[in-house]
Structure 1
Amino acid sequence: MRFVLYNIRYGTGIRTHNFMRSSIKNLERITSFLNEQKPDIVGLIEVDQGSYRMGGKNQAELLAESLGHYHSYSTKYEESSLWRNVPVLSHQGNAFLARDRIRNETFHFFKQGMKRLVMELELEHVVVYLVHLAVGARARHHQLGSLYTLLQKAQKPYIVAGDFNMLWGEREIDLFLAASGLQNANEQHLPTYPCHKPNRHLDFILYSKGINIRDFRVPRVRFSDHLPLVMDFDVEVEEEKREEARIMAEA
């Protein structure tokens, strides 16, 4: 399977002065890039779900239609948040695109930070969690603790991906990896931000036991201020479950 993680910055490109302008043209470039990758799963951070920048159109829905994928999305602010009532901000969120049928989707929210959303996507043999952690170190520390607790409930091999905003550097993620037992797919610690001269490793794909990595890369494309991450992987499936899946597919 191929998983692509991409903080697309609401499709607004890399220039600050474009942030409040139409993002339709740049989204077309992102669409072409994703189609070239032929992903099975896509995790999108900073998705515009229908502000004036997109003429009321949801970027997740447009990308899913182009790829022929299912999609799941949510605003990054919890239901009681005042940010849900602010123009433009109320349309900002994260999204999943998936080639296979989505078995279940759950939206969790941290108790700390401005951006609180944790998206949980369950597919047949794997669960994927998508996060965009706080910039503030104190809030991010609490979010990581809550994320650790949430992951203990996983019943299948799982992936945790997103923009972790690890501004303290590698030591901060190393502590989380040691506690959780997860592995970092980016073994070479390739930087992902900023796209024009990357020197920070902010975006991560972490994985549990039962997942085997076949390939990992960070394409040098400049459609956002972040670089995308591409991971090819296999999921270890028990023979009994594999046979059950085969029978259901043939039915």
Structure 2
Amino acid sequence: MSKKYRFVLYNIRYGTGSGWRFHTPFPYRGYTRRTDRHFGSITDFIESLDPDIVGLIEVDGGSRRSRGVNQASQLAGVLGHSFLFESKYTRPLFSKHLPIVRWQGNAFLSKNGILSQKFLYFDQGVKRLVMEVELDTCVVFLVHLSIKYAHRQNQLRELQVLIHGQKKPVIVAGDFNSFLGQRELAPFLEATSLKSANTGRLRTFPSRVPRMELDFILHSPEIIIHDLDVPRVRLSDHLPLICDFSLKDQA
């Protein structure tokens, strides 16, 4: 019997919460609030899923709002996972020097260890980080693409080059900010032969009343998807994706 793996992808909004109170007493006030309570709930939720791999978008690496605690490190300690964290912004950008913004990044956690990793950056966009992580079974690219359509298309073309150089099966996951959903990704999917694990096109944003499919887990044909769930968990403004998969060569 082939071994199954569970991959949880979640844009956690830095553990700052969701709902109308996020914008009181003024818009986006929630980004500056303490994250202890919300991130504690996120940690409990992810731990209950018993994941093998976790990809986190919008993670606080140790700002004042998280009391100097790296959220990826904290979650990895609870799960017993190896972890990687890196800022979403390239060093020359002014945002790297702002008090809270400079601690904002993405994170990757793995139960069975990490063979190698690369932190790459797109040529365009503010959020440029590409985390390339090699595992025993596959290579995972974790991304948070630009809000601007033209920048996203350039970023997808750069991703295409990175994918074509891989010898192992590939997973590309993250917040794609694709406001047209999978239609926007069609040329990228055709060029790379990747498929979306979310065949039902379940929407992930906003969590209160999901209207858009922004978050994706894309995979090589060698990867078999057994189940994809998008639970209605309102711990962030995005909904998480829970993907159970195996490898064809293990079947």
Task: Provide the TM-score with structure 1 as the length reference.
Answer: 0.93
- CA RMSD, Structure 1 to Structure 2 (Å): 1.2
Q: Does 2:14 correspond to 1:10?
A: yes
The one-letter code matched in structure 2 to 1:202 is: L
Q: Pick from 224, 227, 233: which aligns with 1:215?
A: 227
Q: State how 1:59-208 maps to structure 2 within 5 Å.
A: 59-208=71-220
Question: Does structure 2 conserve the Cα–Cα contact (< 8 Å) formed by 1:166 and 1:202?
Answer: yes
Runs (5+) with no aligned partner, structure 1 = 240-251
Q: Secondary structure at the match of 1:19?
A: helix
- Deviant stretches of 4+, over 4 Å: none
Q: Secondary structure at the match of 1:22?
A: coil
Task: Provide the TM-score with structure 2 as the length reference.
Answer: 0.93
Question: Does structure 2 conserve the Cα–Cα contact (< 8 Å) formed by 1:41 and 1:99?
Answer: yes
Whole-Å separation in 2 of the counterparts to 1:208 and 1:47: 27
Per-residue deviation at 1:235? 1.6
Whole-Å separation in 2 of the counterparts to 1:76 and 1:108: 10
Whole-Å separation in 2 of the counterparts to 1:235 and 1:137: 33
Whole-Å separation in 1 of the counterparts to 2:235 and 2:226: 26
Provide the residue aligned with 2:26 in structure 1. Answer: none
Deviations 1:198-234 (A, max 9, x none): 0100000000021111111001100000000000000
Whole-Å separation in 2 of the counterparts to 1:222 and 1:10: 14
Deviations 1:138-168 (A, max 9, x none): 1111111111111111110110000000013
Question: Does structure 2 conserve the Cα–Cα contact (< 8 Å) formed by 1:194 and 1:227?
Answer: yes
Per-residue deviation at 1:80? 2.5
Question: Does structure 2 conserve the Cα–Cα contact (< 8 Å) formed by 1:125 and 1:237?
Answer: no
Question: Does structure 2 conserve the Cα–Cα contact (< 8 Å) formed by 1:117 and 1:131?
Answer: yes
Whole-Å separation in 2 of the counterparts to 1:78 and 1:155: 28
Per-residue deviation at 1:58? 0.3
Q: Secondary structure at the match of 1:131?
A: strand
Deviations 1:27-58 (A, max 9, x none): 00000000110000000000000011101110
The one-letter code matched in structure 1 to 2:193 is: G
Whole-Å separation in 2 of the counterparts to 1:36 and 1:56: 25
The one-letter code matched in structure 2 to 1:166 is: S
Whole-Å separation in 2 of the counterparts to 1:54 and 1:125: 33
Deviations 1:78-99 (A, max 9, x none): 1322221111110000000100
Runs (5+) with no aligned partner, structure 2 = 24-28
Q: How many equivalent residue pairs?
A: 239
Deviations 1:70-116 (A, max 9, x none): 00010001132222111111000000010011100111100000000
Per-residue deviation at 1:61? 0.2
